Chain A
Amino acid sequence: MASETVSAAPPRRLSNAYQNWYRFSRNPTAVIGAAIVILSILAAILAPWITPHPDHVGAVVNFRARHLSPSAEYWFGTDNVGRDIFTRVIFGLRISLLLALVVLGTAIPIGVTLGLLAGYFGGWVEIVIMRLTDVALAIPPLVMALAVAAVLSPDLINSMLAIAALWWTWHTRLIYSITRQLRTQEFVEAAETLGASKFHILFREILPNCVSALAVKTSLDCGFVILVGASLSFLGLGIQPPTPDLGTMVASGSAFLPDYWWESVLPGCAILFVALGFNLLGDGLRDLFDVQEVR
């Protein structure tokens, strides 16, 4: 191209933020994933203002409009009591995203701290933490959630706690393996000889080097947690009706398959859409950080 002339001026030093943004914007997977994730989050936050029938969130009954197929008025059709499914799907995103936020918000600080401690100190600290992790890894989150729901009561808080109580193990293992590698690096030894505190070494020297792996893992995890949450509410262990939830909608709609397919398929597609968004973002971030490691 004619416009691409080589400038003789010394190259301007680009800020790191801009360089990262540039690389990110060149990665279609990451951009599509980020777009889906941002769209979902915005839709969830703005749900009361952007949905056509915000009152359909509650226990509204309109039998004249039940089982209507998708139309201009009801984009995703209506359910068995005549409520707008599109409205309820958008509100259902709130629960899914809240679940991901709470589960990862508790699991990540715990998992990362334990991983750093086990990887850096080694010895009996490592043995205790890593064996505990192995035990927790052996229990499937869904089974744990079922057990908690059976002992306590089947609601959203309990299923969040049950998932979070097992999810930290993945972060512990990830951070542990990275810390093990970094522990013998010269910059960690240099910090030791410079008199830095253990806290400084763990959270200021080692943790920043885990951030890229952590970002990829977290993004992928959001998708998985949303799927687990949807499975739980499909089984009736999540948030209780009439509050809209994607998993619950799939479950109740499945009674009317295949005639009124939109009642379960479209909420199912919403789950797929959000989970796909987080997975694409995670994959995209991984590509991005891999390039940076090579650099």
Chain B
Amino acid sequence: MSAMLEIVRLSKHFPVRNGFGRQTGEVRAVDDVSFSIEKGKVYGLAGESGSGKSTIARMIMGLTRPTSGDILLDGRNITGDTGTRAYGRKVQMVFQNPGSSLNPRRTVGQSIAVPLDAHGHPRSDRTRRIVELLEMVQLPAEFASRYPHELSGGQKQRVAIARALAVVPQLIVLDEPTSALDVSVQAKVMDLLVDLGRQLELTFLFISHDLSLMRNFAQQVGVLYLGKIVETGPTATVFENPQHDYTRLLLASVPVISAEEAAMRPVIPLIDGEIPTAEQLLALRNAGGPDSQRIEQ
């Protein structure tokens, strides 16, 4: 098995400028990140908001230029030519909020036709292909003439998935695909993605802060904290035996139902009765305070 996507020492720094436009510093949104995804596998990228997850997705999609580092797709370096047609055929993205990733003034059919037209799909075959794609995401064919505001959140996200599948990509970047959906709908959308992934031999980069979803869906995970990958490995290993404090914090924030699950999750000391932020936790540990014993548990 070869790597579908390889990220090598990828960095993105945003300059911070003062009122006069002089650079006074920089934000290291993504800092020296490396990971790779095997063909047909699901890689989960976890982290809180602001940890650089979406920036990595945007760099893979060519929406943001990396400061340094390489992105290798199927063994070919695509840092220079992201956005070209041949590249766009191979990588597609499902955005976080289906409410804003579908144009409110265009019908579902028109939205799905965009990638078909862009990649030279024959016009005569367009209607048939749109119906086929809608079937793949389990939506009836007559949805093609509806507008996004007539659809529910889950239906919209299915349309977004159909649109991403239109040009038969190999890698799909899922940027928090379910975070804007109801919990009951989340599971169905995830099931659909798993099925499609198996049928079409897709490789997924699954970006989320929802660790319980990731546990079921991803084979490998990387935990991103302040732009760096602090822990990576097979999902089971990372989740059962977290090495980094931040991973523990994330795991401790997952709501659990049963007592066994509660026993499995790491214990985090409370600061003033609240779960501490990652910064507070790390500072506490570095200071070797009285609670550090409990963290190591």
Q: Is A8 interfacial (CB-CB < 8 Å)? A: no
Interchain CB contact under 8 A, B103 and A195? no
Which chain A positions have C-beta within 8 A of B83?
Answer: 192
Contact A209/B104 with A16-B147, A193-B63, A197-B118 known, Cβ cut-off 8 Å: yes
Bound complex: CA of A193 vs CA of B64, how far in Å? Answer: 11
Bound complex: CA of A220 vs CA of B201, how far in Å? Answer: 56
Interface members, chain A 10-39 (any B CB < 8 Å): 13, 16
Interchain CB contact under 8 A, A208 and B105? yes
Bound complex: CA of A295 vs CA of B166, how far in Å? Answer: 30
Contact A209/B114 with A190-B95, A195-B88 known, Cβ cut-off 8 Å: no
User: Nearest chain A CB to B241's CB is how many angstroms away?
Assistant: 37
Interchain CB contact under 8 A, B114 and A191? yes
Which chain B positions have C-beta within 8 A of A211?
Answer: 105
| Of the residues B101, B105, B114, contact of A196 by C-beta under 8 Å | B114
Interface members, chain B 150-176 (any A CB < 8 Å): 150, 160, 163, 166-167
Q: Is B85 interfacial (CB-CB < 8 Å)? A: yes
Bound complex: CA of A191 vs CA of B102, how far in Å? Answer: 9
Interchain CB contact under 8 A, A195 and B63? no
Most chain A C-beta atoms within 10 Å of own C-beta, residue among B105, B118, B119: B105
Q: Is B106 interfacial (CB-CB < 8 Å)? A: yes
Interchain CB contact under 8 A, B118 and A200? yes
Q: How big is chain A's contact interface, by range?
A: 20 to 34
Which chain A positions have C-beta within 8 A of B117?
Answer: 196, 200
Contact A194/B100 with A16-B147, A200-B117 known, Cβ cut-off 8 Å: no
Q: Is B93 interfacial (CB-CB < 8 Å)? A: yes
Q: Is A186 interfacial (CB-CB < 8 Å)? A: yes
Q: Is B92 interfacial (CB-CB < 8 Å)? A: yes
Bound complex: CA of A191 vs CA of B112, how far in Å? Answer: 10
User: Nearest chain A CB to B195's CB is how many angstroms away?
Assistant: 23
Interchain CB contact under 8 A, B118 and A195? yes
Which chain A positions have C-beta within 8 A of B114?
Answer: 191, 194, 196, 200
Interface members, chain A 177-207 (any B CB < 8 Å): 185-187, 189-197, 200, 204-205
In the complex formed, the residue of B with least CB distance to A190 is B101
Which chain A positions have C-beta within 8 A of B63?
Answer: 189, 192-193
Which chain B positions have C-beta within 8 A of A192?
Answer: 63, 83
Contact A193/B88 with A205-B103, A295-B149 known, Cβ cut-off 8 Å: yes
Contact A187/B100 with A194-B92, A194-B114, A194-B115 known, Cβ cut-off 8 Å: yes
In the complex formed, the residue of B with least CB distance to A188 is B103
Bound complex: CA of A90 vs CA of B235, how far in Å? Answer: 80
Q: Is B269 interfacial (CB-CB < 8 Å)? A: no
Interchain CB contact under 8 A, B100 and A193? no
Contact A194/B105 with A185-B100, A186-B95, A186-B100 known, Cβ cut-off 8 Å: no
Residues of B within 8 A of A (CB): 61-63, 83, 85, 88-89, 91-93, 95-97, 100-106, 114-115, 117-119, 147, 149-150, 160, 163, 166-167
State the 4 A-B residue pairs at the shortest beta-carbon distance, nearest first: A195-B118, A208-B105, A195-B88, A186-B101
Given A194-B118, A209-B105, 14 further pairs, Cβ under 8 A: A16-B147, A186-B95, A187-B103, A189-B63, A190-B93, A193-B63, A194-B163, A195-B89, A195-B118, A195-B119, A196-B115, A200-B117, A205-B103, A295-B149
Q: List 16 A-B contacts (CB under 8 A).
A: A185-B100, A186-B96, A187-B101, A189-B95, A190-B102, A193-B63, A193-B88, A194-B88, A194-B92, A195-B88, A195-B118, A197-B118, A200-B114, A200-B117, A205-B106, A211-B105
